Amino acid sequence: MILHYIILEGGKKNHRFNHCFKAVIKAVILFFVQASLLGVVFGLILVTGLAKLETFSKKLSPVSSRLKAGKNMCEKLGGV
């Protein structure tokens, strides 16, 4: 009821207040739109980064298995 009065009756009596009210509503809507778009962008960056990290760890997997095999061989021979 109060919002109805502010929007309709206030706009009839005070054009400047109505214009300001509409500008505030537009600013709030744009803020939420920009925040959601920014969230989508950061989400894509995070997903892309995780995918690259996963492929990098897959590339390192054979190297680490060779290092473990070399360490085991060295231990069998009485080394480290």
Burial of 72 (0-12, 13-18, 19+ CB in 10 A): exposed
Provide the pLDDT for residue 16: 64
Q: Which domain holds residue 40?
A: 2-76
- Coil, strand, or helix at residue 77? coil
Give 57-72 pLDDT, tens digit per residue.
777 777 777 777 777 8
Low-confidence ranges of the chain (pLDDT < 50): 1
Q: Any residues with CB less than 8 A from the CB of 74 and at least 6 apart, and which?
A: 80
Residue from 53, 74, 71 nearest 63 by CA: 71
**Of residues 64, 63, 66, the one with CA closest to residue 74:** 66
Domain count, the chain: 1
